[in-house]
């Protein structure tokens, strides 16, 4: 399998796990790596939260060897805070392999504070942030990457200008989510924008948007010339997609759909990993949304998903699994 070099870190050219807030915690990252994700990104972490000593923000930085290679993503609108946040991340016993700067999150609570994709409207500030973070990370020999969108809206498409800025300020790679902020996650991703960025810069480009299958992953590689492909929502409740992608890229063979018993086995392992990481009470609240995703396409899914909203203990979960098996003649 070919590899791409991101600031000295060699990453297999298969697919990487996207940094989805509320989704890509320890359990999701471990499963993604076990199924062959070439790189995992953690949930975005507030730079201000880290600087002010917020325990929840600090907890989001915790990683293990099982998730490597691992990228920690930070967000904010203050160069000094972003630099200090990177410094704090690198002080961790298990420091990340990459520091990723979020310039793509479209959520109002992030953009309303001038962070995330709001930085696409202030490239001077984005450049100052990248420069400040790169200065810190160079000392620790950790590459810095940036995740962007194609622009704030269709009237202000500026992905090429943004990508060139990222490169000039020292970023080792760029991830392009091929939508504008205005689109959020709706409509089709415009892969041609990824191809344009790839032609405009010399550093690696990671393509993101609408990769929901192994076939789509290969198509993105072929149509854009990108160096890596990032998978987000399609991996939620289906971490085995990374194994399917690796197999298809290697052999052009499509794997048979995973049987329900195997899906339930992986889902159960996901819940156990959540409990081990967060404790049963907190874990089961987080597990509800994950379990609902695992149940996509399962016979009787509407009833099971309704049951998910009431899960409070592992025993509740085990009863749900038994009902799924019974109702599906397993």
DSSP 157: B
Q: What is the mean pLDDT of the chain?
A: 95
What is the C-alpha to C-alpha distance for residues 99 and 142, in angstroms, rounded to an integer?
A: 7
In this predicted model, what pLDDT tens digit does every residue of 168-178 receive, in sequence order? 999 999 999 99
Would you please indicate which residues are annotated as catalytic (active-site) residues? Answer: 105
pLDDT at 94: 80
**Three-class secondary structure of residue 89 per DSSP:** helix
Would you state the pLDDT for residue 140? 83
Please determine, for residue 319, whether its predicted confidence score (pLDDT) is greater than 70. Answer: yes
pLDDT digits (tens, 9 = 90+) for 10-50: 999 999 999 999 899 999 999 999 999 999 999 999 999 99
* pLDDT, tens digit, 9 for 90 and up, residues 143-161: 999 999 999 999 999 999 9
**What DSSP state is assigned to residue 151?**
B
**How crowded is residue 111: how many other Cβ atoms within 10 Å of its Cβ?**
19
Residues 6+ positions from 156 with CB-CB distance below 8 Å: 120, 121, 180
Percent of the chain, pLDDT > 90? 90
267-274: Cβ within 8 A, 24+ apart: 267/237, 267/291, 267/294, 267/321, 268/317, 268/321, 269/31, 270/27, 270/28, 270/31, 270/239, 270/294, 271/314, 271/317, 273/26, 273/27, 273/30, 273/31, 274/25, 274/27
Q: Tokens 């909203």, residue?
A: 309
What would the pLDDT profile of 265-279 be if each residue is shown by its tens digit? 999 999 999 999 999
Confidence of residue 62 (pLDDT cuts 50, 70, 90): confident
Record the pTM. 0.95
Q: Which two tokens stand for residue 159?
A: 């992905």
Structure token digits, residue 103: 């310039």
Q: Which of 131, 151, 143 lies closest to 203, judged by CA?
A: 143
Q: What is the pLDDT of residues 178-232, one digit of tens each?
A: 999 999 999 999 999 999 999 999 999 999 999 999 999 999 999 999 999 999 9
Residues 111-133: what's their mean pLDDT?
98
Give kind and range of the element (H or E) at residue 230. strand 228-231
User: How confident is the model at residue 185, as a pLDDT?
Assistant: 93
- Alpha-carbon distance of 8 to 91, in angstroms, equals 20
Residue 1 pLDDT exceeds 70: no
The answer to whether 146 and 105 are in contact (CB under 8 A) is no
């Amino acid at each position: 399998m070919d590899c791409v070099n991101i600031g000295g870190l060699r990453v297999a050219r298969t697919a990487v796990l996207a940094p989805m807030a509320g989704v890509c915690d320890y359990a999701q990252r471990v499963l993604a790596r076990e199924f062959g994700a070439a790189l995992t990104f953690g949930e975005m972490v507030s730079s201000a939260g880290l600087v002010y000593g917020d325990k929840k923000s600090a907890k989001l930085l915790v990683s293990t060897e099982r998730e490597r290679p691992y990228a920690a993503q930070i967000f904010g609108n203050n160069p000094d805070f972003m630099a200090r946040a990177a410094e704090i991340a690198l002080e961790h016993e298990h420091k990340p392999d990459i520091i990723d700067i979020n310039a793509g999150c479209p959520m109002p609570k992030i953009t309303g504070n001038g962070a995330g994709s709001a930085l696409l409207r202030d490239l001077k500030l984005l450049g100052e942030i990248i420069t400040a973070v790169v200065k810190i990370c160079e000392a620790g020999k950790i590459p810095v990457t940036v995740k962007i969108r194609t622009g704030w809206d269709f009237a202000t498409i500026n992905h090429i200008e943004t990508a060139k800025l990222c490169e000039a300020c020292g970023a080792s790679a760029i991830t392009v989510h091929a939508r504008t902020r205005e689109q959020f996650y709706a409509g089709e991703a415009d892969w041609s924008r990824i191809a344009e960025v790839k032609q405009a810069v010399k550093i690696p480009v990671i393509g993101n948007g609408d990769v929901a299958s192994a076939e789509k992953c290969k198509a993105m590689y072929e149509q854009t010339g990108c160096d890596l492909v990032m998978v987000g929502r399609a991996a939620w409740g289906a971490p085995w997609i990374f194994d399917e992608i690796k197999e298809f890229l290697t052999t052009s063979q499509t794997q048979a759909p995973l049987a329900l018993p195997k899906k339930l086995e992986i889902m159960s392992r996901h819940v156990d990993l959540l409990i081990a990481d967060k404790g049963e009470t907190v874990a089961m609240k987080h597990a509800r949304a994950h379990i609902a995703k695992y149940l996509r396409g399962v016979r009787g899914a509407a009833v099971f998903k309704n049951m998910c909203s009431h899960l409070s203990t592992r025993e509740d979960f085990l009863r749900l699994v038994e009902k799924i098996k019974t109702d599906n003649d397993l």
